[in-house]
Amino acid sequence: MMKERILMCKVVTSEGDFEHEHHHSHVDDPLEIAELLRETLADELDSMSGLAGTWHMIEDEVIKNKLMETLRSKQKTISLLYEALQESEKKVWG
């Protein structure tokens, strides 16, 4: 049985030529938490791919160094998100 979610906030993002709505609410179910973490992890990985592509195209060394710092920061973020996902999945699957 699914619990009714209480809408906490609505985020509208532009994707191409249309807007996409995301409804967010607080969740405490480990399975729902894991799903949110998977989505966030996928978004971060996609973002990192785009950033790596930008880094590859730019020739200015100062800018490339800043982008490399950003990539390293994203690697840490992705690592922490993955750890959180593993922890959440342990609560679901044991």
Average per-residue pLDDT for the chain: 85
User: How large is the average pLDDT for residues 30-58?
Assistant: 95
Extract the runs of DSSP E, i.e. beta strands, from 2-43: 9-15, 18-24
Write down the pLDDT at residue 17. Answer: 67
> Rounded distance, CA 10 to CA 49, Å?
27
Per residue in 17-31, pLDDT (tens digit) is 666 666 667 888 899
Answer whether 33's CB lies under 8 Å from 39's CB. no
Instruction: Say if pTM beats, i.e. exceeds, 0.75.
Output: no
> Rounded distance, CA 77 to CA 43, Å?
12
> Rounded distance, CA 45 to CA 8, Å?
26
